Amino acid sequence: MIQIIADTTCGIPVEKLKAQGIYVLPQIIIFGETTYHDDYELDTQTFMEKLLASKELPKTAAPPPTLYAPIYESILSAGDIALVIAPSQKLSGTFRSASVAAEEFHSEDIHIIDTKSIAGGLGSMVLQAKQWADEGMDIHSLLRNLESMMARERVYFMVDTLDYLYKGGRIGGASRLIGSMLQIKPILTFVDGQIEPFDKVRTAHQALANIVEMVIEICKGNPDAHLTISHGGAEPQAKLLAAELQDKLDLPDIPILTCPPAIVVHAGPGVISTSCFVKPN
């Protein structure tokens, strides 16, 4: 059997992941000399309060290899296959930590995939992989299907300021927008797992309107869209966005996920994003 291993950057509540039999590891948040696991020691609301009160930007670290090793050992001892579904290597050290831990086992039954994604899209891939595994899909087919999802994902997001991405070293190609934020509101995206500018408009209202149009174009008549909305400290805006998209796409529900502290550290309070997947060819 294939056992799925995720981490908190997927944005799915830890309790939901564990209830489905998915292993979930915490990202590490570092305020000065104090470290927190963001799965149970530091929720997003508490983190936001500490972030806004802190004079220095906290640091983050991926789950260390020592947290992966006992999970691998348990899975392999049961004769199962381990599949780590990791966030983009360009945004997180999670893939590397999982890989370092796997080296000591010398096993072909440990698979680690860099999804080139994070937050809602990563969460969609984790949940879909679990469904495929429960249906009895073999590991090679499952990996091919995940690679197809990765290629089809479209992410559009907004931040209140580029400062957090810049200071945290996650800004990618969006660095060329530094200095123009007073005049524009950029819509950002992922290209090969890195943050890049997608479009520039004058106001946040116009940016959200453009995102709505793009999401509708992708999701209309698309049962495999896996649309999600993620936010960090922008719940009212996320709910309004979800309501508008539900109405225009005639959907009963759109998952609204809260970005974990490890994402808000780098995106900043006020981040709001959508993830969806274009139809397979």
Give the model confidence (pLDDT) of 226-257 as tens digits: 999 999 989 999 999 999 999 999 999 999 99
Which range marks the domain in which residue 188 is found? 152-277
CATH of residue 196's domain is 3.30.1180.10
Mean pLDDT value across residues 213-223: 96
Burial grade of 93 (CB within 10 A; 0-12, 13-18, 19 or more): middle
Regarding whether 119 and 53 lie in a shared domain, the answer is yes
The closest of 242, 25, 22 to 125, measured between CA atoms, is: 22
Of 100, 133, 151, which closes a domain?
Answer: 151
Query: Does 171 share its domain with 44?
Result: no
Q: pLDDT band for position 19 (50/70/90)?
A: very high
Query: Do 179 and 128 lie in a common domain?
Result: no
* Res. 272: pLDDT tops 60: yes
Instruction: Return all residues near 200 (Cβ < 8 A) that are at least 6 apart.
Output: 177, 180, 184, 185, 186, 187
**Residues 7 and 146 placed together within one structural domain of the fold:** yes
pLDDT greater than 70 at residue 193: yes
As separate numbers, helices (DSSP H) first and strands (DSSP E) second, the chain gives 10, 13
Distance CA 52, CA 49 (A): 5
Percent of the chain with pLDDT over 90: 69
CATH number for the domain that contains residue 62: 3.40.50.10170
Tokens 């590891």 sit at which residue?
25
Residues 102, 172 within the same domain: no
Q: Are residues 131 and 201 both part of a single domain?
A: no
Minimum mean pLDDT range among 10-19, 49-58, 243-252, 258-267: 49-58
pLDDT in tens, 73-106: 999 999 999 999 999 999 999 999 999 999 999 9
Domain boundary among 151, 180, 204: 151
For residues 146 and 156, state if they share a domain. no
Tokens 């759109």, located at residue: 254
Please give the pLDDT value at position 175. 46
Do residues 255 and 127 both lie within one domain?
no
pLDDT of residue 173: 46
pLDDT at 2 over 50: yes
**Model pLDDT, residue 179:** 47
Query: What per-residue confidence (pLDDT) applies to 174?
Result: 45
Do 180 and 261 lie in one domain? The reply is yes
Whether the per-residue pLDDT at 181 is higher than 60: the answer is: no
The string of pLDDT tens digits covering residues 138-148 is 999 999 999 99
pLDDT tens readout for residues 30-69: 988 899 998 888 888 888 888 888 888 888 999 999 999 9
Residues 6+ apart with CB under 8 A from 77: none
**Residue where one domain finishes, among candidates 114, 130, 151:** 151
Domain shared by 191 and 249, yes or no: yes
Tally the domains of the chain.
Answer: 2
Q: Give the pLDDT confidence score for residue 203 in this predicted structure.
A: 85
Q: Which helix (H) or strand (E) holds 145?
A: helix 139-152
pLDDT, averaged across the chain: 90
Do 93 and 19 reside in the same domain of the chain? Answer: yes
- Whether residues 183 and 80 share a domain: the answer is no
Q: Quote the tokens at residue 68.
A: 């992966």
